[in-house]
Chains A and B, each alone.
Chain A
């Protein structure tokens, strides 16, 4: 099975506190640590597990200007990394990114396309848009995949209350992968060094036959104007005592609120 995983490089919220910059209109981007979007990493792991079972190749593609996450995912075992990059892509909205990915997909011959369910600064949108642009079937929030005979998959979707919605879906299709579907393998510095010299092909708008007017800022119907931190409501009463005092207070409150027997 030929599998394409569409991945994104995002600020890593487990490594950073996201704060406003001094001007108060964007997040503070100096010294941000970036990494692969977490659900995308699960998607790559799932793709690798599928090709281990049924054979095939995993290609990881990203729209952006940095190949760091591609190296990481190649160190995990992806056969190919592809950087889709062009100044004309800057300012693309979700539809723009999906349009770029559609053009890339049509250059290849993929049976299955995976994305992460959502990016930290994204809208859980590109996978569903890409599927609609390609007229492929789509399932979101996928938390298990079984390959069936006859170019079909059995997938479960995470729905309310921890229940699973089971579906059969025809290939080729697009799935958005939920975290927790698997346990992504560890990647060490050594693994990344081993793939450091593998060339990563790049694709620009012209390579994909994309009209610059169909993507990028000019085509975007949706634009982020600024970031802000909303004025809080009441908020928590922060206890400023010593740890011991705070513990006493919490135990007292737990008892007072009907907690302790």
Chain B
């Protein structure tokens, strides 16, 4: 069985949650594996991060280089190509860095590539069978991947339950001398922090959240009226922001805000995992959608199959009546 290597994303020495999920995915590929964590960075922060994953990985490698102080995927790819043994199975979290790094890495390692893996079905000879989701999670697919010359897999964050500590704490192997000089055609300049919006959706107990089902910009008012009647705020999913119907600051999801309300009303939202990734703290989730097959119904507490453009205005009227009586 090939060596399984997990690339650990970290920020200022703090490993991403995915660090502890990748090791779980590695053990599901091969329960007998001794997964190797590999970390890169500019200096001392790498050692801090190595220490933080030290109880979860039986082997840890690090690469430090001034050029790697910011995680530039092209530079890290070049370093990994030099440092990784041939035919390795490389696991990377499926987030913005992994999407940047992994496809090109698979080309340079001459290995197979599967992205956004949500489950491991098992090994069959030289084939690894994995599970992906397609069409926004409406269907899943079994994918067979020939690992005879290695593989690069990106692993969906949250799909694997993190594994706890292993008994032995190991020494960190320094691979920094293996990589030579690094140059790239892309240079990091700066990070622009998202502007705060008019409403802070992270501070509300109740969110009326709208998706593609709101259909047009003028209909956003329907959600705003309900939110007002409920003392809630309006948030939304990505398509609403892409269409410029609401500000980016209202978007819930991995590329938007992370919210922790008590009640989340998902209105006309299909329930793509990138959206669900932004809903934390297990709120009571009520889904209203006219498509009974929408993936949101798999994760909601209560589901109503109805047209939000008719349901929400009637709900607003009822909520106003109740307030009036109270």
Q: List residues of A whose CB falls within 8 A of some B CB.
A: 11, 13-14, 17-20, 27, 93-95, 98, 117, 120-121, 123-129, 131-133, 136-141, 154, 156-170, 173, 176, 179-180, 183, 221-230, 232-233, 235-239, 243-244, 246-251, 253-254, 257-261
Contacts and interface: CB of A to CB of B under 8 A. Distances in A.
A20 B14 CA distance: 42
8 contacts: A98-B107, A140-B96, A140-B99, A173-B186, A221-B111, A225-B129, A235-B297, A260-B231
A157 B257 CA distance: 16
Interface size class of B (residues with CB under 8 A): 35 or more
A121 B191 CA distance: 31
Contacts of B300: 235-236
A47 B196 CA distance: 30
Interface stretch (B19-27, B30-38, B286-294): B286-294
Interface stretch (B42-50, B54-62, B131-139, B167-175): B131-139
B40 interface: no
Contacts of B113: 93-95, 123, 125, 129, 221-222
A170 B239 CA distance: 31
B interface SS class: mixed
B206 interface: yes
Nearest to B247: A162
B112 A163 contact: no
A27 B232 CA distance: 39
Closest 6 CB pairs of A and B: A128-B103, A137-B185, A236-B303, A132-B104, A162-B194, A123-B115
A235 to B, nearest CB: 5
- Listed residue (B104, B239, B249, B298) with the most chain A CB atoms within 10 angstroms of its CB: B104
Nearest to B190: A166
Contact of A228 (B96, B101, B139, B258): B139
B115 A124 contact: yes
Contacts of B293: 17, 19
A225 B140 contact: no
Nearest to A179: B242
